[in-house]
Chain A
Amino acid sequence: MNGPFAFALGLGDDALIAAQRLAEWTTRAPEMEEDIALANIALDQLGAARLLLSYAGELEAAGRDEDALAYLRDDREFLNALLVELPNGDFAVTMAKLFFLAAYQLPLYTALASCPDERLAAIGAKARKESAYHLDHGALWVRRLGDGTEESHRRMQDAVDHVWPYTHELFAADPAAPVDPAGLRAAFDETVGPVLAEATLTRPERGWAPTGGRKGVHTEHLSYLLAEMQVLHRAHPGAQW
């Protein structure tokens, strides 16, 4: 599946699944301030998801709104990158996911903000400011954990090693898209490299690079996430909420 619908859907799914995962931290964060910060970021992602899914629904012109797209598709129809669906793990894994995702979303939304599609440009302009905050927040924690205690250093390095392979999929070439993700890789590397170095962390070698999310071939985790997210909506077909 290609074209503007799939593009908007993929980005909307990234944001939606990221929001769902981040919201799992609510009431569980290591500090009360962090509970609030993670909820903020989840709300930003959810807001972007709603705009992108609504727009995807309009592009498709088949009468599907944001909720039809979020609640009534199965995992094989979701086009998010695998990185966002990975389980939260410990706080270090969540921060690795947040940091890498933001380091991709910031240049992506920045480029979208000046693309010819006005709707995508407006979404990009709004979301890039939010991504800049997510990136600051993620980078701060990567530094704190990487250069904190022995235990936090070990956990943060493990987290980077665990999440890193999933970053490559974010930059798979799509020359026909409003923004070709392949063109964002350099900006990502420039952001990530210095933060990892400052955090006394080693950047993994390029090796295993799992992929499939953009084609609807996911990890085993997504189906469980969707089962929980969709259960109530699907139990009451056609109901208003």
Chain B
Amino acid sequence: MYGNDFSAPGDAPDDMPGAGLLGEVEAAEAELRAAAARERRGGPAPDEDLAAYFTEVVDAEQKIEPRDWMPEAYRRTLIRQIAQHAHSEIIGMQPEGNWISRAPSLKRKAILLAKVQDEAGHGLYLYAAAETLGISRDELVQLLLDGKQKYSSIFNYPTLTWADVGAIGWLVDGAAIVNQVPLCRCSYGPYARAMIRVCKEESFHQRQGYEILHTLAHGTPEQQAMAQDAVDRWWYPSLAMFGPPDGDSTHSTQSMAWKIKRFSNDDLRQRFVDMCVQQAEILGLRIPDDGLRWNEERRAYDYTQPDYDELMQVIKGNGPCNRERMAHRRAAHADGAWVREAAAAYAAKRADKREKVAA
């Protein structure tokens, strides 16, 4: 059964990261197909209460589709969440993109370039999913550029060494997968389907990051130090990716009822910690937490919480790279304006010509 199979340390069948999570993505995909095959009854009756029908579909683990009636707040919540996710994919290209030109071997350069390209693809699927809710990609991009919508705070930290590329793959993509695997079962069909595709690729990213760290951790003393330093810097920001502790989280309860969210922030954070401890041991790298120890009673690791005041500062715009990330995106958008205008003008001329030929 999904939801109670948090892997306990030592019983993961495969020491490669992401293996168990990938199985869950596949299970969610099978479930999605099964739900589609079950078919919902053919829509609400003419005099039926639309809200009751919506609730019935969600409770029956069927998918809400773009044509369906949905509560306005459900639509708004999804737009906000999917857009924020899409923006994160696009802004998230920057920290790793920072190392493409300096990747230390041609093979690593190719893998990194392909990874950053995947993130652009994730952004596109997610904007497309958001568009099914009645808002355009251009509008969403403008909201990002105007600072009215957020992206994940993790991308406001700098990539200072090559090992940061490994740490981002292992920890940041790892945390993203733990967060996103439950979204493969989200009640909104287009989002669930996009997440299945995204999660499969994220699991490759995590594996690649793990491999980078593994190579460094088994390399020269300088490489080992570089790897440990990267884990030291990325560990707590990665824990903070799961959001504020449950008591302080503003959006959780309603999202749980709508089956947009399935687990609390703290549950997901715990799951991530438990997954990483074992992998860190294989890597030969130390998780920078003196409070980390197995709790037999809870069947989980006790760990030190990230600094949530720092998280709030970064969300407010005061992380090390917030300004640079936004300036970079705004500059790319502004510098490309003449190109987009030219493409539109060219397309209009062509359409004109075709019309004249037809007339």
Contact = CB atoms under 8 A, between A and B. Distances in A.
Contact of A152 (B116, B123, B342): B342
Contact of B100 (A26, A29, A30): A26
Interface stretch (A43-51, A122-130, A208-216): A43-51
B101 interface: yes
Q: Contact residue range for chain B?
A: 35 or more
Given A46-B113, A149-B342, A27 B93 contact: yes
A27 B94 contact: yes
- Main SS of chain A's interface residues? helix
Interface string A169-187: 0000000000000000000
A70 B107 CA distance: 11
Contacts of A67: 105-106
Contacts of B220: 236, 238-239
Contact of B343 (A32, A36, A42, A148): A148
Interface in A146-170: 147-149, 151-152, 155
A16 B106 CA distance: 9
Contact of B341 (A16, A90, A148): A148
Interface in A191-241: 228-229, 231-233, 236, 238-241
Given A50-B110, A152-B342, A232-B102, A26 B124 contact: no
Q: Contact residue range for chain A?
A: 35 or more
Nearest to B95: A27
B349 A147 contact: yes
B42 interface: no
Contacts of B338: 149, 151-152, 155
B104 A149 contact: no
A144 B349 CA distance: 10
Contact of B102 (A32, A50, A231, A240): A231
B346 A148 contact: yes
A71 B114 CA distance: 20
A239 B190 CA distance: 45
Listed residue (A16, A70, A240) with the most chain B CB atoms within 10 angstroms of its CB: A240
A232 B162 contact: yes
The 3 closest A-B pairs by CB, nearest first: A30-B336, A148-B342, A152-B342
27 contacts: A23-B113, A28-B335, A30-B332, A34-B339, A36-B124, A39-B113, A40-B117, A43-B113, A43-B114, A46-B109, A49-B106, A53-B106, A71-B105, A91-B336, A144-B343, A144-B346, A145-B346, A148-B343, A149-B342, A152-B338, A228-B102, A232-B103, A232-B104, A239-B104, A241-B212, A241-B215, A241-B219
